[in-house]
Structure 1
Amino acid sequence: MDDDGRSARLERWEQVMETPLFVASGLFLISYAIRVLAHDLPAGWQDLCLAVTCAAWVLFVVDYAVRWALSGQGVRFLRRHVMDAVVVVLPLLRPLRIVKIYEAVQRRHTHARMSLHGRVIAYAGISAVLLGFAGSLSVYQAEYAAPGATIRTFGDSVWWACSTLTTVGYGDVTPVTPWGRIVAVGMMTGGLALLGAVTGSFSSWLIQTFALEEDKRPPGDSPGA
């Protein structure tokens, strides 16, 4: 099959899977949150939530495998879609798929609804909320019953996630388990990346705004004139 045919089939597959993956991302987060927070949930409901979580994970794996096969790129596909592979492997990051799917839907419109800078800030904000919530759940699940843990309630976990994502790091509550610390590293990295994206986009917007004002200024009407 030629490259144009592969690209067309890959594009059709991605369009077909947009809605199922969006729904799967939401169901994954909801079912995972119920399993973590509802300690007194009957065993049958716990099993149902686990089944939903696993089904969402299987859908992500199938989507990644099909896109890999349709691309015809072999190992190059892995190098070009590292984030997709990480999302498949790490449950913590799967809800971020919602942002990618929303961006794909926005690209279908002839005219963008927001400027590039506005979209970067908006998507970074959505990503921060999703990452913070998912990270709070993961850390709370790993920490609340651990010996010597300082994160005992979900509120403690949310407070820790906020301070970690914003790179403040008060240190009043910290993870003590190996998995909790692994999640913390991911949250720190994600927080730095999101903060950098928002700061860089906002700075670029300010520079462009001031540059446009300078271009509109009449000749000889400079501040130092």
Structure 2
Amino acid sequence: MKELSAQARWETRTQRPLLVLAVLFALAYAVPIVDSAASRLLTVACTATEWVVWGAFAADYVVRLSLTRRRGAFVRTHWMDLCAVVLPLLQPLRLLRLVATLMLVGRRARMASQIRLTTYVAGSVVGLLMFGSLAVLSVERDSPNGNIRTLGDAVWWSFTTMTTVGYGDHAPTTGLGRVLAVGLMLSGIALLGVVTANIAAWFIARFEKDDVEERRQTQAIEALTEEVRALRAEVAALSGAVAVPEPAGEDRVL
């Protein structure tokens, strides 16, 4: 139990610092893409920042693994975290580091009890739109046949793709860009399903609450009716038991 409590304390203490590092990672990822004319020094600094932040996330996973008693169960239940840690080592691409960081941030956010489902969904939508736009811009901007050249085009394409509208005015032409499109479409459908399920669950809970209140009132009315019947029966019984004596008649005296 000590090791589990130590793991919980570690996760509580590192929650905010890791979120700050995730924001720093996002900035380091976005700057070279948005500013295509960035100097080599700035690009190298952003890349180094990405790897430093990623090292912090990897170290966090190792510490959490060392603090738990059942390490095998921890690895099985946190397999997404493990994949996110191993993914950049297999193919050190900036896009893969981006996907892995999103996976880890999502896992840590879901572990925080104070984060509600609505906040998580809204953050997921904003994050996917932002990173999807930056990722497709980075892979499509230099494509000979590409038509996603600016950040505005990329953001518009991300909106239409996540909502599965697909106007067709902007579309990826590279293989990696199409993989990103598939990921955004699936993510948009999944988020829409989560939102729909959340709204349906809220209505069902509301109706159930109303039904419970109605049943409670009905039971209270029935109980009150039974009490009134019992009181009537008791009054009737008392009225029959207390007999009024008949006055002595004059004929009887005579």
TM-score (norm 2): 0.72
CA contact (8 A) 1:139 1:157 kept: yes
4+ long deviations beyond 6 Å: none
> How much has 1:71 moved relative to structure 2?
2.3
> How much has 1:98 moved relative to structure 2?
4.8
Match of 2:117 in 1: 120
Match of 1:63 in 2: 60
User: In structure 2, what is the Cα distance between the partners aligned to 1:47 and 1:146?
Assistant: 23
User: In structure 1, what is the Cα distance between the partners aligned to 2:25 and 2:102?
Assistant: 7
71, 81, 98: which is aligned to 1:92?
98
Secondary structure at the counterpart of residue 183 of structure 2: helix
After TM superposition, the structure 1 stretch with the greater mean CA deviation from structure 2, 210-219 or 45-54, is 210-219
After TM superposition, the structure 1 stretch with the greater mean CA deviation from structure 2, 196-205 or 96-105, is 96-105
202, 208, 213: which is aligned to 1:211?
208
CA contact (8 A) 2:21 2:53 kept: yes
After TM superposition, the structure 1 stretch with the greater mean CA deviation from structure 2, 179-188 or 130-139, is 179-188
Q: Measured at CA, do residues 194 and 170 of structure 1 come closer, stay the same or move farther in structure 2, by a change above 3 Å?
A: same
CA contact (8 A) 2:109 2:120 kept: no
TM-score (norm 1): 0.80
Q: Measured at CA, do residues 96 and 43 of structure 1 come closer, stay the same or move farther in structure 2, by a change above 3 Å?
A: same
Deviation digits for residues 159-192 of structure 1 (CA, Å, limit 9, x no counterpart): 1111222232333322222222222232223222
> How much has 1:23 moved relative to structure 2?
1.3
Match of 1:81 in 2: 78
User: In structure 2, what is the Cα distance between the partners aligned to 1:194 and 1:45?
Assistant: 35
After TM superposition, the structure 1 stretch with the greater mean CA deviation from structure 2, 20-29 or 84-93, is 84-93
Match of 2:126 in 1: 129
CA contact (8 A) 1:164 1:187 kept: yes
Correspondence list, 1:25-44, <5 A: 25-44=22-41
> Identity over aligned residues, as a percent?
35
Where structure 1 has 5 or more consecutive residues not aligned to the other structure, the ranges are: 108-113, 220-225
User: In structure 2, what is the Cα distance between the partners aligned to 1:155 and 1:128?
Assistant: 17
CA contact (8 A) 2:25 2:53 kept: yes
Aligned pairs, how many? Answer: 207
> How much has 1:127 moved relative to structure 2?
0.9
Q: Measured at CA, do residues 173 and 72 of structure 1 come closer, stay the same or move farther in structure 2, by a change above 3 Å?
A: farther
CA contact (8 A) 1:99 1:126 kept: no
> How much has 1:206 moved relative to structure 2?
1.0
2:60 counterpart of 1:54: no
Q: Which amino acid aligns with 1:159?
A: W
User: In structure 2, what is the Cα distance between the partners aligned to 1:80 and 1:104?
Assistant: 13
Match of 1:111 in 2: none
Q: Measured at CA, do residues 54 and 199 of structure 1 come closer, stay the same or move farther in structure 2, by a change above 3 Å?
A: same
Correspondence list, 1:133-212, <5 A: 133-212=130-209
User: In structure 1, what is the Cα distance between the partners aligned to 2:148 and 2:163?
Assistant: 18
CA contact (8 A) 2:81 2:103 kept: no
Secondary structure at the counterpart of residue 144 of structure 2: coil
Alignment RMSD (CA, Å):
2.4
Q: Measured at CA, do residues 16 and 6 of structure 1 come closer, stay the same or move farther in structure 2, by a change above 3 Å?
A: same
Q: Measured at CA, do residues 65 and 126 of structure 1 come closer, stay the same or move farther in structure 2, by a change above 3 Å?
A: same
Q: Which amino acid aligns with 1:24?
A: L
Where structure 2 has 5 or more consecutive residues not aligned to the other structure, the ranges are: 88-95, 219-254
